[in-house]
Structure 1
Amino acid sequence: MIELDRSRPLWPQVAAIVRERIESGEYPGGGRVPSVLALVTEFGVTQVTIRKAVAALRDDHYIRTETGMGSYVLTAKERQDAQRAGGDVR
């Protein structure tokens, strides 16, 4: 389990760690982000915390979500296009 600073809100910390993994290529463009339940187990937080982190990553154009399918990392081109359009990549 990853240790988080419990004196601060948890979801931004989780989002930052996942963002770092995306930027480093650990979670490659087009690849799937671990499931909510897998992230709950890894970080030792609630589903609500993970869902807030996922929403922040989606809003920042790092991932897209497909209902019932999971979340996927946007490629650099997809991220650039989404940022340029200011659109929703859900």
Structure 2
Amino acid sequence: MATGTVRYWAAAKDAAGIAEEPFEAETLAELMTKITPGREELARVLRRSSFLVNGDPVGRRAHEAIVLAEGATVEVLPPFAGG
């Protein structure tokens, strides 16, 4: 089980009520499951968000396939307005 930091940006930060928090999870899917109970607004924002794991975009890959390394940083990037 890896430990690391999840960082929230923009609407995700507002929904989480914090800028970052530690996590313990094997995969990105497990991390999403662990950080959303009792946080319905955050869960809603996460469904629309993009993710970076140690600076690498997750893209359309299944979250179950994204294995988190020890010390990983997961960035939650909600859609941004403008162009």
Superposition TM-score, scaled by structure 1 size:
0.33
The structure that is helix-richer by fraction is 1
The structure that is strand-richer by fraction is 2
Superposition TM-score, scaled by structure 2 size:
0.35
Structure having the higher Rg:
1
